[in-house]
Amino acid sequence: MTIQTYTVSGMTCGHCVNSVSSEIGKLPGVRDVKVDLASGAVTVQSEQPLDDTAVAAAVDEAGYEVVRA
């Protein structure tokens, strides 16, 4: 198992959390998605490391943006 954490901007409510969780959850190998609305932290547990571009595309599909470090 692999755990990766991303920071997502623009989330303001439970609907936002559900949208981001749902889109990331569709990625192959994803087992669990936890979102901390207050900090924007999104922790993803997957079978193998995820491609950051694929995660960013899923977040974009939900209408939000991964903050680049």
Domain boundary assignment for the chain: 2-66
- The CATH class of the 2-66 domain is alpha beta
The token duo for 32 is: 């669990």
10-residue stretch averages of pLDDT, the chain, 69 residues long: 96 96 98 97 97 97 90
Helices (H), 26-63: 52-62
Q: Taking a C-beta distance cutoff of 8 angstroms, is the pair 59, 8 a contact?
A: yes
pLDDT at 21: 98
> How much is the pLDDT for 40?
97
Q: What is the pairing mode between strands 41-46 and 30-36?
A: antiparallel
* 1 secondary structure, DSSP code: -
| Structure tokens given for 44 | 């993803």
What is the rounded distance in angstroms from the CA atom of residue 14 to the CA atom of residue 16? 5
